Structure 1
Amino acid sequence: MTAEIVPLPRKTPTLDPMLALTAPGMNSVNAVILDRMQSEIPLIPALAGHLISGGGKRLRPMLTLAGAELVGYNGTRHHKLAAAVEFIHTATLLHDDVVDGSEMRRGKAAANIIFGNPATVLVGDFLFSRSFELMTEDGSLKVLKILSNASAVIAEGEVDQLTAQRRIETSEERYLSIIGAKTAALFAAASRIAAVVAECSEREEQALDDYGRNLGVAFQLVDDAIDYDSDAAQMGKDRGDDFREGKMTLPVILAYARGSEEERKFWQAAILGHRTSDADLEQAIALIAKHGALEATRDRARHFAERAIDAISIFPANKARAAMAEAALFAVARGY
């Protein structure tokens, strides 16, 4: 009698290999961040520190450090540039929370709730300025062009998202264009600049750009799914924020497209802001589940994660490539 073969459980992907790979470099990056967020105006480091020390993943600067490891760069220029990337990201978060009227960020009160909208916007501007100081100190016009262009594209994506808000007719194509700009552009730039400082070939630059861009899309797709299937403690923000703000994210786009006429009427009212109670949120979650919209969203995220992993297959197999591949898998599997 042949014994039944029981498959081994698949290991859940984590960020641990990426964290271990980039830990030494992140110590230097964090030192730059701490130094450059200082100001003689006490409110500036107080407000910036509220978010910067708030427990974010620091994934974007980690991409710069991991990319440098992948291509064998042994210098230190990328430390300041990774800090610049984090300042750009933090500035956009501060501005986003004002635009969205967010009350929570990373599990605690958002900066705009504590310090007010005017101060939050102005400190975001300060951090943008610091990021450009760091770029110009590096001295590479190519790096400056990549990161400044990413900053402009992020702003365009945020404006595009604002104009798509409460518009039930928003298509999947437009949604992907929005997240490609507001999220994936910085992932791509953060990855690409590692190849620039290492003086890699254009092909290698593009491979790292493709990795970051596809990872960024996967990451945002999962973020948008999480808004409907995790609790506030896991997410670090209020559950259903996207729903109440009338954001047309992929789970809603798919549920609306697959829904009955009656369900579509509910979505039309909800996205316009007429159905935003807790009971309405629960109904939205039920409809999204009914039509498999979360699974479909994660499936699309998995597709982009696989494209990210494929992009770096041109590099030799090493610890850095393995860590970056697992980070892409983690971006899809995570619940927070």
Structure 2
Amino acid sequence: MSADIVQLHPRPEKRPTLDPMLALTAQGMNAVNAVILDRMQSEIPLIPALAGHLISGGGKRLRPMLTLAGAELVGYQGTRHHKLAAAVEFIHTATLLHDDVVDGSELRRGKAAANIIFGNPATVLVGDFLFSRSFELMTEDGSLKVLKILSSASAIIAEGEVSQLTAQRRIETSEERYLQIIRAKTAALFAAASRISAVVAECDEAQEQALDEYGRNLGVAFQLVDDAIDYDSDAAQMGKDPGDDFREGKMTLPVILAYARGDEAERKFWKEAIGGHRTSDEDLAHAIELIRNHDALEDTRERARHFVQRAIDALSIFPDGKARAAMTEAAQFAVARGY
């Protein structure tokens, strides 16, 4: 038999990582981090202390990396995107600070949340400070189009958070409403972070839209996986308390699917749990059991894979190369990750 006919034991497919994205953006991220460190300073010591608690807390910095990777993809040679990537990170950090106050979170990225250490008033006000810093950076750039994209995303994020708040503890929340919420609260900033690279590089509308679509679909997939992880991991992996979404009565897709597929007794349980009347550890364990019995986690991840494929397809108008490959693998990582 010829030696080149059959491979009996094909290698397992390599698990996607963020490593290519990290390598692609490493030099740019050094510049972005320098801007972040500089602009979070204040004569009021509490501001850099509280901001630094979260900013240095080990986040993936995926959103500013998208801005840098997009610039590499379109061949941008300037430095304007460094300040804009920092603005993106400040917007994201401000929303996290505000979210933790709204949710009463105790953990963020595996450490005590800022609101637990510094209190709710200080956390809200430092979030406001970081929002203000982000707008300073936008206006310094001088592009009205960039300002419009990022300010619009900021407004949409706030609308998404309010929409999620009004959907809390409402068992009748539909999958369509849920997707509207995550498109606003998560995907809008992913889309804006990606798109502004094409704006500063003065690309054509098609390339702008392609980067917007990439970020938007990646953002939806990222949030879908986050919501699955809340019922599929422990706090060490997530960096937050397991079951937070459950106890807060958030109608995320795993719950929406399990409720829709459940029998009468199961639906009764979900109504009581989401209503805030069944929130013990035993209730959480039962919720996870129901979610697994109805394949709600796998189906949530399958929907995430669908959006990731749409993100990858959006990059097809760009030539093959390191940047496109890194952005493709980053999208695949968003679904494969366990944290």
TM range (shorter): over 0.9
What amino acid is the match of 1:21?
L
TM-score normalised by the chain length of structure 2: 0.98
Residue number in structure 2 paired with 1:12: 15
What amino acid is the match of 1:8?
R
Residue number in structure 2 paired with 1:253: 256
Segments of 5+ residues of structure 2 without an aligned counterpart are none
Q: Counterparts of 2:26 and 2:10 in 1: how far apart (Å)?
A: 34
Residue number in structure 1 paired with 2:133: 130
What amino acid is the match of 2:203?
C
2:182 is equivalent to residue 179 of structure 1? yes
Q: Counterparts of 2:148 and 2:39 in 1: how far apart (Å)?
A: 21
- What do residues 140-167 of structure 1 show as CA deviations (whole Å, max 9, x unaligned)? 0000000000000000000000000000
Q: Counterparts of 1:45 and 1:119 in 2: how far apart (Å)?
A: 12
> What is the SS of the residue equivalent to 1:122?
helix
> What is the SS of the residue equivalent to 1:228?
coil
* CA deviation after TM superposition for structure 1 residue 5, in Å: 1.5
Residue number in structure 1 paired with 2:216: 213
Q: How many residue pairs were aligned?
A: 336
* CA deviation after TM superposition for structure 1 residue 8, in Å: 1.3
Residue number in structure 2 paired with 1:48: 51
Of 55, 61, 65, 1:62 maps to: 65
* CA deviation after TM superposition for structure 1 residue 7, in Å: 2.1
2:289 is equivalent to residue 265 of structure 1? no
What amino acid is the match of 1:110?
A
* CA deviation after TM superposition for structure 1 residue 4, in Å: 7.2
Q: Counterparts of 1:257 and 1:331 in 2: how far apart (Å)?
A: 26
Q: Counterparts of 2:19 and 2:284 in 1: how far apart (Å)?
A: 34
* CA deviation after TM superposition for structure 1 residue 6, in Å: 1.6
TM-score normalised by the chain length of structure 1: 0.99
Residue number in structure 2 paired with 1:168: 171
> What is the SS of the residue equivalent to 2:216?
helix
- What do residues 96-129 of structure 1 show as CA deviations (whole Å, max 9, x unaligned)? 0000000000000000000000000000000000
Cα 1:3–1:199, aligned 2, differ >3 Å: closer, same or farther?
closer
What amino acid is the match of 1:332?
V
* CA deviation after TM superposition for structure 1 residue 3, in Å: 7.3
Q: Counterparts of 2:312 and 2:160 in 1: how far apart (Å)?
A: 25
Residue number in structure 2 paired with 1:139: 142
Cα 1:133–1:4, aligned 2, differ >3 Å: closer, same or farther?
closer
What amino acid is the match of 2:182?
I
2:3 is equivalent to residue 21 of structure 1? no
Runs of 4+ in structure 1 off by over 2 angstroms are 1-4
Of 190, 194, 210, 1:191 maps to: 194
Residue number in structure 2 paired with 1:72: 75
**Aligned runs of 1:93-132 on 2, under 5 Å?**
93-132=96-135
Q: Counterparts of 2:238 and 2:23 in 1: how far apart (Å)?
A: 24
Residue number in structure 2 paired with 1:313: 316
What amino acid is the match of 1:281?
L
> What is the SS of the residue equivalent to 2:202?
coil
What amino acid is the match of 2:116?
I
Of 276, 282, 285, 1:282 maps to: 285
Over aligned residues, Cα RMSD in angstroms? 0.9
Q: Counterparts of 1:58 and 1:134 in 2: how far apart (Å)?
A: 18
